[in-house]
Chains A and B, each alone.
Chain A
Amino acid sequence: QKEVEQDPGPLSVPEGAIVSLNCTYSNSAFQYFMWYRQYSRKGPELLMYTYSSGNKEDGRFTAQVDKSSKYISLFIRDSQPSDSATYLCATLGRSNYKLTFGKGTLLTVNP
């Protein structure tokens, strides 16, 4: 079982749709949960991170972590064509300094 599982998609939605991206993880030691966004032919950039269970909101983006079910979600409201990118979930444990990524979900928002 991979440490972080993510449906690679691709996911195609119309502009204005609500997008839900999800990951599961296997290691209970993971403490930080991140979402990185990667535009085509660019490096990933951090979008949001959360620590422990709960929600975190930043504009149109909401990150959600449920540690009891080891589930990580990213919601995008009122999606825009500029949101078209690959979204990578990632986790970080306290002891091994290693960022473990999911395989990424390719999202296309159609105008």
Chain B
Amino acid sequence: DTAVSQTPKYLVTQMGNDKSIKCEQNLGHDTMYWYKQDSKKFLKIMFSYNNKELIINETVPNRFSPKSPDKAHLNLHINSLELGDSAVYFCASSQDPNKETQYFGPGTRLLVL
């Protein structure tokens, strides 16, 4: 009964490939997020959806495309992977966009070779 789950946990792939990461939350929250944490542990927001509507779209290459099929799911598709995309990607959810408490998933460790 994990609150926020992500698949896969690890992803090793070649440059130029396309990959997807999936996230699901069973907390009944309206808002979901994607964060990128680089090798120096800096955690930065990428996207946020509230009730399936995109509300945060940070300066991220358009190779990254989020998709929210319903409130409980938020996926991240990455085209033409580059070496610099190697990082840990965290999904999170909160009750609403103004809530200070966000619940994070375990992360997806992406390594691009």
A interface vs B, CB < 8 Å? 8, 32, 34, 38, 41-46, 49, 51, 86, 88, 92, 94, 96-101, 103-104, 106
Nearest CB in chain A: distance from B110 CB, A = 14
Q: In the assembly, what is the distance between CA of A77 and CA of B45, in Å? A: 31
Sort chain B's interface into a size bin: 20 to 34
Q: Would you call A43 and B101 a contact (CB within 8 A)?
A: no
Whether, in the assembled complex, B34 has its beta carbon less than 8 Å from a beta carbon of chain A, the answer is no
User: Closest chain B residue to A93 by CB distance?
Assistant: B98
User: Closest chain A residue to B102 by CB distance?
Assistant: A99
Nearest CB in chain A: distance from B107 CB, A = 6
Considering residues B92, B100, B102, B106, which has the most beta carbons from chain A within 10 angstroms of its beta carbon?
A: B100
- Which chain A positions have C-beta within 8 A of B56? 96-98
Fill in one digit per residue for B25-55: 1 if any A CB lies within 8 Å of its CB, else 0.
0000001010000001111110010100001
* Dominant secondary structure of chain A at its interface with chain B: strand
B interface vs A, CB < 8 Å? 4, 31, 33, 40-45, 48, 50, 55-56, 90, 92, 97-98, 100-107
Q: In the assembly, what is the distance between CA of A106 and CA of B42, in Å? A: 12
Q: In the assembly, what is the distance between CA of A94 and CA of B99, in Å? A: 10
